[in-house]
Structure 1
Amino acid sequence: MTVYSVSYDLNKEGQNYKDLIAEIKSFNGYCKVMDSYWFVCSKGNASAVSERLKKHMDNNDSLLVMETSTNRQGWLNKDIWEWLKQHQTTSV
């Protein structure tokens, strides 16, 4: 299973995040990193993850889905680092 980073901006005023967040939480694993930034686990590729999420977004919204890497650094909550260690394979 691959861990993808998912980042989005819903650009329409008053946009409802409920359906998008429900879709994110329906993946095989998920972790909320920041307000509009998540990690999700999927057997599919980045395109498949993107297609699942796009159906809950408007055409003027922004979305980035990218495979994560073990080459990383940052300042995050310890629980997020532990989640990554548990869900991410050692391959880059």
Structure 2
Amino acid sequence: MAVYVVTYKLSAPEKEYKELEKVMKSFGSYSKRFDSFWIVDTYHSAKDIKEKIFSALSEEDQLFVIETKKHWSSRNTPDGMVKWLKSSRRTF
């Protein structure tokens, strides 16, 4: 398993992306405290994540998926995200 940061820019932000949220939640444990920025702890690869998410996006939407490691830093980050990242359940 690994922890990934997933971020995206939607070409039509006013459009409802209910399927996107459903796909994101399907990866397992996640934290979402910012618009279009998720952290997921999953057994899927970055490529698998990209392909599953892209099926819920339009062709013009942008997507970036990157594996993150245990060493990270933040400032003024919502407490829930920091607590989630510091959890002993994370699989960095």
CA shift for structure 1 position 14: 3.3
Instruction: State TM-score, norm by structure 2.
Output: 0.86
Instruction: State TM-score, norm by structure 1.
Output: 0.86
Could you list the per-position Cα deviations for residues 7-53 of structure 1 after superposition, in whole angstroms to 9, with x for gaps in the alignment? 01110363222110111111111110311100112112100111110
Query: Where does structure 2 lack aligned partners over 5 or more consecutive residues?
Result: none
Matched residue SS, 1:15: coil
Give, as a single letter, the amino acid of the residue that structure 1 aligns with 2:80: D
User: Could you say which residue in structure 1 is the equivalent of 2:57?
Assistant: 57
Q: Structure 1 residue runs of 4+, over 4 Å off?
A: none
| Inter-partner Cα distance in structure 2 for 1:27 and 1:4 | 10
2:27–2:44 Cα contact (<8 Å) kept:
no
User: How many correspondences in the alignment?
Assistant: 90
Q: Which moved more, 1:10-19 or 1:46-55?
A: 10-19
Q: Pairwise CA RMSD of aligned residues? A: 1.5
1:33–1:39 Cα contact (<8 Å) kept:
no
Matched residue SS, 1:53: helix
